[in-house]
Amino acid sequence: MWVGLVALGTATNYGLIFDAGSSGSRIHVYTWKTGGGGPKNEFDLVSDDLLKIKPGLSAFKDSSQAAGASLAPLIEFAKQKIPAEHIASTPMFLMATAGLRMVGEGPKDAILSSVCSYLSTTGFHFRCEWAGVLDGRDEGLYGWVTVNYLLDALYHSGGTSDPVGTIDLGGGSVQIVFSMPSTSSAPPGYTEQLDFAGRKHNVYVKSHLGFGLDAARKSLLDLITKPFKVEGFQGHVSHPCLPLSVKMEHDGIVLEGSGSWLECRKLQMGLFQRPPCQHSSCSWGGAYQPPLPAAQFYGFSYLYDRTAAIGLLDGQPAQFGSAPMSRADIDARGAELCALSAADVASRFRRHQDASKSNDFCGDVAYLSALLENFGFAEHTTLTMTNKIKDVELVWTLGAMLAKSAELSSRAGYFSSFPIVIFFVLLAVRQSARDCVCTRVRHPPHARAHRLMLTVSSGWSLLYDFGAVPEVELRTRRAAASRPRLRLRTVLDRGFSMCERAGACALNPPRPRTNFCIRIMLQRSMDRRLRSLELRSTRNYVQTGAGRVWISD
């Protein structure tokens, strides 16, 4: 039982979230109150204590057995922040982001296995299924929730403000999330309908894998050197994003800096391919994106770290803070930065925590400018670059902690009064959660089939709760002749039953009208061309809840 979730009056709760990113791993130790009344009755944040270490888990691609133990300093930090008597009841979750998504299935599974083995010995409340790779869309949604929770823009309250849009630029991916009119139509997989204590939000969300800042640097090097990867080439290749005369090597080719903002930005724009748009409007790569709203946008992570944090506009680096700026501001100061000599760059940033990477700053700032243009921001539109609100660091983990607290509350049976449970029920369907999504099912006056269509990505584990459905069959609709292997598990009041076969499975609870969950586990070796699953009752029951859930990366 989670301490404080069911206590009478105000209670203190603790929870741990590991953010296993591409550049390092950090732990967030969250403390919050429940029972204080108001819209934040079930989650009123008290503190967020964090510690970051390097390297990230993806660095253990070739030595996966050491991955778990690398988290030991973070565990010791958490034990210093949480009272000893609460350690065993404090839940702990590890969520890896784009860095681990990109190492490949085999190394990823080996790393997570090592993490599971180690975290299981720490004394915190942990299950191996609580360590996994976070879907990019969920990362974006969690970030949006974090920002708007801290701005008091999620709930109905006195002086309710409009929610802001968010852009989270990480090392391996970038996410953009913003509200859109509820009457807007969008292709499946691009929107979410959220509800916070009766205040509804219809949001657009998109994660672009491979367009994080670290990934973009590598992509740019590949783009520059590709024409010269021929046998016998021995010259130097000009790199406009490096300070003049600075040299580096990539894939055996020597690059020499020329320090040209215009040429650098032009190259960065070349990373954003724009095939013909198949929707009403697109960003890049054929991805649907509606026109940007008039709402304020907050940029965080690398959007702050390569602007205000390095003193881009005023020459005054700020480790924490907030700064309004437009693309025009970034372009003007970026051109000045790229014109600096290597010695001037080293001198200007000698005391910055990323001083060793200062030769990359010209290219990084040019990438930020190109990214914002490709998202559709006009030259003089002002965004707020920040990394803290109300002394809380902006990162998606706070939204994740809200989600996990809601899931554990609903599992304990107290979700009926939880103000944000509807939102997190939606998220639980899409991510690899191990909790049930509740849907009411009733006996109809006329015989009708119960159907739910799930469009899925390879490797997902989904749960769907059917109340009083006596028999359920799952079938696949496939895009190829071969059928993937499916594994289904029904969780009953007592015990469970399994069935595993290719194409279809039938599950029968021991008696009629038994509430149970169905876990659909898509094996990693499954046919990646699978397009959808059909989950339906074979008896005369009809669903009264939502009938369609779309799942997309």
Q: Note the pLDDT tens digit of each residue in 425-465.
A: 334 434 333 332 323 323 333 323 333 333 333 333 333 33
The string of pLDDT tens digits covering residues 307-334 is 999 999 999 999 999 999 999 999 999 9
Structure tokens at 388: 């803290």
The string of pLDDT tens digits covering residues 299-308 is 999 999 999 9
Please choose, from the candidates 444, 455, 431, the residue with its C-alpha nearest in 3D space to the C-alpha of residue 548.
Answer: 455
Domains 1-133 and 438-550 share a fold: no
pLDDT bracket for residue 411 (50, 70, 90)? low
Strand runs (DSSP E) across 54-181, as ranges?
92-96, 131-133, 165-169, 173-179
The string of pLDDT tens digits covering residues 32-81 is 998 888 888 888 999 999 999 998 899 999 999 999 999 999 999 999 99
**Architecture of the structural domain at 438-550:** Sandwich (2.60)
Superfamily of domain 1-133: ATPase, nucleotide binding domain (3.30.420.40)
CA atoms within 13 A on the CB side of 393: 18
- For the domain 136-211+279-295+411-418, what is the CATH code? 3.30.420.150
pTM as predicted: 0.71
Count of other CB atoms within 10 angstroms of residue 121: 10
Tell me which H or E stretch contains 490. strand 485-491
Amino acid at 206: K
Parse the chain into domains and list their residue ranges. Answer: 1-133, 136-211+279-295+411-418, 438-550
464, 535 contact by CB (below 8 A): yes
pLDDT bracket for residue 177 (50, 70, 90)? very high
